[in-house]
């Protein structure tokens, strides 16, 4: 008989209706790579790596592993997951992931828990970024979509074979366009899917209702199905470790607004009223920085009231409608006794160059103006409005954690 193990306490997050639960189906059998979910990558089993990653996602209340294998169950528990025993009939080669997911949700339901959002994750995708999962969850919770799933951009020319020979699928074979002249298509990575739970239970499939693609870095889209894939993953991990971004030890983070907290686009209605879209994971990053005692400022030349409204929502000080940003930044830092060398400034355009040249940690978004990119010492992976503030926050918080750890080690 299936059971939830360990049994949740009354305070367990899976016992409350609503919230977000992540489910990882991880059966013991695997033909491509024997005992695949327990194979170690970077010194930890794939199932443990997946659980650890999901526990770093701020929006997830509990991580569940559905398995028919006691060794996998023990490993999952060791990383902090709850475990649901998966029946043998749902663990064979022909069993679908949906059937295992439905069973796990039924088991949770028997404990009085029906999550608002279910995140379905494959342990065989070892390079999932927590911030990407956060974006998928936010898309569902903010009613942008019923299902949000990970995709990677692709410019591949696809072909198929017919009786008349090879035929191009997504291109005209007689016209060879340059990569920069072609709009990308998107490959489903299979790594994660955030779904409105009620919709999944009604439809029985991971795709229903309104769909939303969460674009991830192609380097994060690797999926392990064969031993060759595993060898490539080991090489990729070694490269990542050698090129891991350096944590930033700063006392303050100052950001521009348009093109940083937003994509630099506005929507204008028939009355001329402008509105912008912000990223929920950026808000979480700001909240984490505040809790860590990092000073924060939004410094913008924009006069639109949306800047002040967003700053108020975040609980962050704002200076907007500012024509001389470097002077304003100097005064703000002096008033708080913060050295300019201890400040990270995040910008995207030419009006940020003065501030970028002023601080110890000049940072630019990935899609910044070339002149701003040149002035920055650090260029982040994400674009404006796409979780770039959260990316910077993670690096600052990593610096804060490592600094505290070194203090303990040498104390």
Q: What are 96-114's pLDDT values in tens digits?
A: 888 889 999 988 887 777 8
pLDDT over 50 (residue 403): no
- Give 368: exposed, middle or buried? Use CB within 10 Å, 0-12, 13-18, 19+: buried
pLDDT over 80 (residue 31): no
For residue 250, how many other CB atoms are within 10 A of its CB? 25
Q: How does residue 32 score in pLDDT terms, banded at 50, 70 and 90?
A: low
**pTM above the 0.75 mark?**
no
pLDDT at residue 200, as a whole number: 95
pLDDT over 60 (residue 6): no
Query: Could you tell me the sign of the dihedral formed by the alpha carbons of 73, 76, 77, 82, in that order?
Result: negative
Q: Do the beta carbons of residue 401 and residue 293 sit within 8 Å? A: no
List, as one string, the DSSP characters of 96-133: -HHHHHHHHHHHHHHTT---SEEEEE-TT-TT--HHHH
pLDDT at residue 141, as a whole number: 94
pLDDT over 50 (residue 405): no
Q: Do the beta carbons of residue 378 and residue 370 sit within 8 Å? A: no
pLDDT at residue 13, as a whole number: 41
Give 362-395 pLDDT, tens digit per residue: 999 998 999 999 999 999 988 999 899 999 999 9
For residue 142, how many other CB atoms are within 10 A of its CB? 10
Average pLDDT of the chain to the nearest whole number? 87
pLDDT over 60 (residue 404): no
Q: Do the beta carbons of residue 84 and residue 64 sit within 8 Å? A: yes
How far is Cα of residue 328 from the mean position of the Cα atoms in its chain?
Answer: 33
Strand partners, 152: 187
Going from the N-terminus, what domains does the chain have, and what CATH number goes with each? Answer: 4-242 (3.90.550.10), 252-409 (3.40.50.1000)
How much is the average pLDDT of 186-212?
95
- Percent of the chain residues past pLDDT 90, beyond the cut: 62
| 31 vs 89: CA distance, rounded Å | 17
Cα angle 24, 29, 33; round to 5: 95
Residue recorded with tokens 């010492």: 377
- Percent of the chain residues past pLDDT 70, beyond the cut: 92
Give 308-351 pLDDT, tens digit per residue: 999 999 999 999 999 999 999 999 999 999 999 999 999 999 99
Beta strands per DSSP E along 140-210: 147-154, 159-162, 165-168, 185-196
| 293 vs 336: CA distance, rounded Å | 13
């Amino acid at each position: 008989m299936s059971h939830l193990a360990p049994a949740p306490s009354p305070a367990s997050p899976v016992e409350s209706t609503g919230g977000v639960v992540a489910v990882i189906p991880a059966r013991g059998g695997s033909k491509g790579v024997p005992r695949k979910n327990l194979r170690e990558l970077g010194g930890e089993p794939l199932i443990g790596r997946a659980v650890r990653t999901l526990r770093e996602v701020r929006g997830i209340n509990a991580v569940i592993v559905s398995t028919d294998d006691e060794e996998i169950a023990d490993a999952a528990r060791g990383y902090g997951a709850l475990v649901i025993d998966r029946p043998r009939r749902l663990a064979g080669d022909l069993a679908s992931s949906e059937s295992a997911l439905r069973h796990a949700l039924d088991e949770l339901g028997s404990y009085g828990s029906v999550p608002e959002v279910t995140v379905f994750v494959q342990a065989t995708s070892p390079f999932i970024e927590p911030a990407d999962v956060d974006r998928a969850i936010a898309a569902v919770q903010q009613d942008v979509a019923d299902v949000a799933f990970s995709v990677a951009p692709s410019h591949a020319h696809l072909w198929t074979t017919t009786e008349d020979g090879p035929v191009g699928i997504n291109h005209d074979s007689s016209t060879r366009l340059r990569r920069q002249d072609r709009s990308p298509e998107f490959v489903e990575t299979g790594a994660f899917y955030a779904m409105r739970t009620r919709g999944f239970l009604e439809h029985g499939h991971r795709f229903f209702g309104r769909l939303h693609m969460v674009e991830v870095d192609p380097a994060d889209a690797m999926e392990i199905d064969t031993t060759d894939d595993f060898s490539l993953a080991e090489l990729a991990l070694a490269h990542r470790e050698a090129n891991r971004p350096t944590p930033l030890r700063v006392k303050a983070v100052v950001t521009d607004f348009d093109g940083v907290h937003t994509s630099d686009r506005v929507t204008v209605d028939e009355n001329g009223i402008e509105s912008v879209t912000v990223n929920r994971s950026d808000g979480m990053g700001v909240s984490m920085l505040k809790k860590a005692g990092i000073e924060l400022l939004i410094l913008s030349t924009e006069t639109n009231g949306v800047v002040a409204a967003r700053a108020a929502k975040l609980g962050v000080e704002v200076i907007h409608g500012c024509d001389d940003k470097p002077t304003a930044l100097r005064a703000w830092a002096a008033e708080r006794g913060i050295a300019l060398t201890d400040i990270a400034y995040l910008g995207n355009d030419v009006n940020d160059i003065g501030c970028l040249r002023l601080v110890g940690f000049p940072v630019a978004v990935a899609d910044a103006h070339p002149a701003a990119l040149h002035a920055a010492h650090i260029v982040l992976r994400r674009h404006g409005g796409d979780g770039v503030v959260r990316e910077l926050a993670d690096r600052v918080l990593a610096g804060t954690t490592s600094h505290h750890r070194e203090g303990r080690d040498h104390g």
